[in-house]
């Protein structure tokens, strides 16, 4: 059975404490539980104070068969930030924009460049999603279409550097859209002539949304999955709704991170669970102990705080 662990973001001590709480023992092959396996939902680098230790812990567990892990958008951005063109120059030129959050990770490995290159190669061996027996794991959004696209267009095994070069150079391609859908979710893009003010007095031009919902007839607040602000209860005009399919109520339980749910709730629906606790601010890490049930149970959430 599986222990699904939310976004760690370089907080190695919290991760160690959580693994011990879950019954894992530290061995020469990493943390180990004879009856269970850990599953990491991605975003285990960047932000925190112990990124190097975190990636070492997770990599050792994965390589020794004690854990699974999927790629998050933070891992993908760091992979892209280190790509080089044919002349040997970095593909991403300053200013770094979307890659600024990766500087803390890169700075931790300044004195260990060879180890960092090994970690980069290892990151490319991780999948974009896991469809295990009874549960699904993805970093941000489970889309049947995106999953099928990846299966059909990316060979099994290590993802080639060219894939990351393509999604960086051509963000509008089907390849890029499907990979970012899995790892960043669905962003609602506000039309240029529409202005909605949130409770902070700001009019966001985009926001993260509930990709699993049946959208027609819902309000901006009902489709939003933002944790830091709320929208007024205005019904979204049907002509501007994105064309997405709701996640079926009878589909396998899906676990993901990404959405910074510091105050929860974490169990969103009977088969939908977000395990991202916004750890950099909350100093809290969350796991779900899955033992074969078809409906999520709040008592199976395990939380560790600093």
Mean pLDDT of 24-47: 96
Regarding whether 197 and 85 lie in a shared domain, the answer is no
Regarding whether 208 and 68 lie in a shared domain, the answer is no
Regarding whether 230 and 145 lie in a shared domain, the answer is no
In a domain, 169, yes or no: yes
Regarding whether 162 and 221 lie in a shared domain, the answer is no
Regarding whether 172 and 70 lie in a shared domain, the answer is yes
268/271 Cα distance (integer angstroms): 8
Positive or negative: CA dihedral 80, 84, 89, 91: negative
Q: Distance from CA of residue 191 to its chain's centroid?
A: 27
CATH number at residue 287: 3.60.21.10
Kindly give the interhelix angle for 113-123 and 51-63, rounded to the nearest 10 degrees.
Answer: 50
When the pLDDT of each residue in the chain is averaged and rounded to a whole number, the result is 95
292/229 Cα distance (integer angstroms): 35
Per-residue pLDDT at 53 exceeds 70: yes
Residue 13: what pLDDT? 98
In a domain, 77, yes or no: yes
- DSSP collapsed to 3 states, 73-119: HHHHHHHHHCCECCCCCECCCCCCHHHHHHHHHHHHCCCCHHHHHHH
Positive or negative: CA dihedral 294, 295, 296, 300: negative
- Are 266 and 302 in contact by the 8 Å Cβ rule? The answer is no
Regarding whether 156 and 42 lie in a shared domain, the answer is yes
The domain tally of the chain equals: 2
Per-residue pLDDT at 88 exceeds 90: no
7/275 Cα distance (integer angstroms): 7
131/137 Cα distance (integer angstroms): 7
In a domain, 248, yes or no: no
In a domain, 290, yes or no: yes
Per-residue pLDDT at 80 exceeds 80: yes
Mean pLDDT of 104-132: 94
pLDDT tens by residue, 89-117: 888 877 666 667 778 888 899 999 999 99
Regarding whether 31 and 13 lie in a shared domain, the answer is yes
pLDDT band at 134 (very low <50, low <70, confident <90, very high): very high
- Are 302 and 286 in contact by the 8 Å Cβ rule? The answer is yes
- Are 94 and 101 in contact by the 8 Å Cβ rule? The answer is no
Regarding whether 138 and 98 lie in a shared domain, the answer is yes
Per-residue pLDDT at 86 exceeds 70: yes
Residue 210: what pLDDT? 97
Phi/psi at 23 (5° precision): 90, 15
Regarding whether 208 and 94 lie in a shared domain, the answer is no
Mean pLDDT of 5-13: 98
Domain end: 243, 267, 288, which one? 243
Residue 96: what pLDDT? 64
Contacts of 265 (CB under 8 A, 6+ apart): none
Mean pLDDT of 275-292: 97
Residue 98: what pLDDT? 64
Domain end: 225, 243, 261, which one? 243
Residue 227: what pLDDT? 86
Mean pLDDT of 241-245: 92
Per-residue pLDDT at 177 exceeds 80: yes
Regarding whether 113 and 69 lie in a shared domain, the answer is yes
Residue 89: what pLDDT? 87
Regarding whether 207 and 111 lie in a shared domain, the answer is no
Per-residue pLDDT at 145 exceeds 70: yes
Residue 97: what pLDDT? 64
Regarding whether 197 and 180 lie in a shared domain, the answer is no
Structure pTM?
0.96
pLDDT band at 5 (very low <50, low <70, confident <90, very high): very high
Owning domain of residue 92:
2-184+253-305
306/304 Cα distance (integer angstroms): 7
Q: In 10 A of CB 79, how many CB atoms? A: 20
- Are 286 and 266 in contact by the 8 Å Cβ rule? The answer is yes
Cα atoms in the Cβ-side hemisphere of radius 13 Å centred on 135: 24
Task: Quote the percentage of the chain above a pLDDT of 70.
Answer: 98
């Amino acid at each position: 059975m599986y222990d699904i662990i939310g976004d760690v973001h370089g907080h190695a001590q919290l991760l160690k404490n959580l693994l011990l709480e879950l019954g894992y023992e530290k061995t020469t092959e990493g943390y180990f539980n004879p009856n269970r396996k850990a599953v990491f939902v991605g975003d285990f680098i960047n932000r925190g104070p112990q990124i190097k230790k975190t990636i070492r812990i997770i990599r050792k567990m994965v390589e020794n068969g004690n854990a699974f892990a999927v790629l998050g958008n933070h891992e993908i951005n760091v992979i892209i930030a280190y790509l080089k063109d044919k002349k040997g120059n970095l593909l991403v030129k300053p200013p770094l924009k979307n890659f600024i959050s990766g500087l803390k990770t890169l700075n931790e490995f300044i004195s260990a460049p060879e180890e960092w290159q090994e970690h980069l190669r290892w990151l490319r061996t991780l999948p974009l999603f896991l469809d295990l027996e009874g549960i699904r794991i993805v970093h941000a959004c489970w889309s049947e279409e995106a999953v099928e696209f990846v299966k059909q267009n990316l060979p099994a095994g290590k993802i080639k550097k060219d894939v990351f070069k393509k999604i960086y150079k051509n963000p509008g391609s089907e390849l890029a859209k499907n990979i970012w859908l899995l790892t960043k979710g669905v962003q609602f893009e506000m039309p240029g002539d529409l202005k909605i003010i949130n409770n902070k007095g700001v009019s966001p031009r985009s926001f993260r949304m509930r990709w699993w919902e049946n959208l027609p007839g819902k309000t901006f607040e009902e489709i939003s999955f933002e944790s830091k602000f709320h929208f007024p209860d205005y019904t979204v005009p049907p002509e501007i709704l994105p064309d997405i399919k709701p996640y079926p109520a009878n589909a396998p339980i899906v676990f993901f991170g990404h959405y910074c749910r510091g105050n929860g709730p974490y169990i969103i629906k009977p088969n939908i669970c977000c395990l991202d606790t916004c750890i950099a601010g909350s100093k809290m890490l969350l796991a779900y102990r899955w033992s074969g049930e078809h409906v999520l149970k709040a008592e199976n959430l395990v939380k560790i705080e600093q």
